[in-house]
Amino acid sequence: MAENTEPEVSTTPQKRNQREKLYFENKIYALNKETSTSKYYRCVRRECSGRCIEVDKKVTLTQQHSCLVASFECDIEKARNRVKQFSLENPFVAPSRVIAEVQQEFPASILQALPKHTSMYRSIRKWRRPEGIKELTQRLDIVFTDEQITTAKGTSFLFHDSKDERRILIFATEGCIQFRDRVLSILPHDYMKTDLYLSRFLRAKNFRLQDAENFLREALEWRQLNAMDSIDSEDFSDIEKDFPLYLDGVDKKGRVILEGFFGEWKVRTAVVAGKVQKLKRYGVKAIEDATRKVRELQSQGKNVTQWVMLLNMDGFNFAESACPTCLPYYLNFVSSYEKYYPFSVGHMVFVNTPEAFETVLNLVRPIMNAQTRKVMKIFGTNIKKWEPYVEKHFPTSEISEWFGGYKPRKFSAYPDFV
């Protein structure tokens, strides 16, 4: 009989309906029964005859295995149980951090055999739920760990805690408060005085106060010079008919959808007709309208902070849409967004995108920030690839037939002003 004086026994906390695990000679056992002096284990494979006994921390194999469990499977189970153990011992650590910590303890070959991270995140939340954290009935019950109120740079994020019966909590760094104080007097509208609006300029400049203030002042000056507060009073009827954009739907997260059939836009024709400046302003108006729509939803109590873009690129071609005289339109649209509406878009989806559009992407990518590039999803002309993605993120009742939805759209194939 095989004997090991130092068996590796799992110390992972178990639920009431689960059995303690033991790892011995690259096999996995589950506790079968227990006496005051001994523990009896059986192989986790129920059809296997493998048995062992633990007495005074010494494990002895009492019956040989009839299964073929490889040591590799045992190591995978160890890694998974380690994730579980670490997540329960550190209930306030984010699942992504739990995985990162455990990854340092196991070889890459074992980690690759674990479920995908998204699946492990769900498992971690599931494991933690029965352990529970005391349900809070009042603010005074809240106890913060240092990690919860400290930013990645090590600065405190809990700006104020009154610690009285009402317990007023204010979460912000001192830098954020200073930024608000510095710019409050130059903000012409109430919505600009909100944390949501100001934080976008701080994020764009990596929370460097002076740079963020200069960035904000530049945006305010641009708004004034371009009369953005009165842009709705301008007549765009000649542009809207032939370059339609819609803001009449929301995605599955409740975010406003800016939708268009961009592939049919005849940008070169607008340039030849002398309409390019008005078309540029029309594009900026679309961004302004989308951000205003977000504020309207917020005033209705909706938890919405961004809008999304959904464009069908079918029909896009180099001659009509990517010619040298067309490119300034795209540069103006992207640069206006990045400079004056940073971090307003949460998702951008392009479908039926031809290779010709790569010319435009190569032009505008350098002026996009990393977050904008991150939220951009570009699909080719294979409907079997983009349709499931669109259905996953957008309700069919909220999008047009251009994207597999139910809303009918009319579109003039050629501009009237030609």
Task: Name the architecture of domain 232-403.
Answer: 3-Layer(aba) Sandwich (3.40)
**Strand 169-171 relative to strand 158-161, pairing:** antiparallel
pTM: 0.64
**How large is the average pLDDT for residues 88-110?**
81
- What DSSP state is assigned to residue 344? -
Highest mean pLDDT among 11-25, 260-274, 277-291, 357-371 belongs to 277-291
**How large is the average pLDDT for residues 404-413?**
71
Question: Could you tell me if residue 411 is left (phi over 0), alpha (psi between -120 and 50 degrees) or otherwise beta?
Answer: beta
Would you say residue 6 has pLDDT above 80? no
Would you say residue 224 has pLDDT above 60? yes
Count the helices and strands in the chain (H runs, E runs).
Answer: 15, 14
Would you say residue 416 has pLDDT above 50? no
Report which of residues 77 and 2 the model is more confident about: 77
Instruction: Say what the pLDDT of residue 2 is.
Output: 53
Q: According to CATH, what is the number of the domain 175-225? A: 1.10.8
pLDDT digits (tens, 9 = 90+) for 332-369: 999 999 999 999 999 999 999 998 888 888 889 899 99
Highest mean pLDDT among 61-65, 114-118, 289-293, 408-412 belongs to 289-293
Report which of residues 171 and 351 the model is more confident about: 351
Of 62-76, 256-270, 369-383, the poorest mean pLDDT is in 62-76
Cβ distance 32 to 20 under 8 Å?
no
Instruction: Say what the pLDDT of residue 70 is.
Output: 58
To which residue do tokens 């917020």 refer? 298
For residue 418, what pLDDT band results from cuts at 50, 70 and 90? very low
Instruction: Say what the pLDDT of residue 288 is.
Output: 97
Of 168-172, 179-183, 203-207, 256-260, the poorest mean pLDDT is in 168-172
**How large is the average pLDDT for residues 401-410?**
85
Cβ distance 265 to 321 under 8 Å?
yes
Same-fold call for 3-69 versus 175-225: no
Report which of residues 172 and 368 the model is more confident about: 368
For residue 398, what pLDDT band results from cuts at 50, 70 and 90? very high
Instruction: Say what the pLDDT of residue 330 is.
Output: 92
The residue type found at 265 is W
Q: Which CATH number fits domain 3-69: 2.20.25.240, 3.10.310.50, 3.20.19.10, 2.30.22.10?
A: 2.20.25.240
User: 3-class DSSP state for residue 150?
Assistant: strand
Instruction: Say what the pLDDT of residue 72 is.
Output: 65
Of 26-35, 134-143, 379-388, the poorest mean pLDDT is in 134-143
For residue 131, what pLDDT band results from cuts at 50, 70 and 90? low
Ranges of each domain in the chain:
3-69, 72-131, 175-225, 232-403
**How large is the average pLDDT for residues 109-134?**
74
| Separation in Å, CA 370 to CA 256, 316, 375 | 22, 26, 9
Helices 209-225 and 174-183 sit at what angle, rounded to 10 degrees?
30
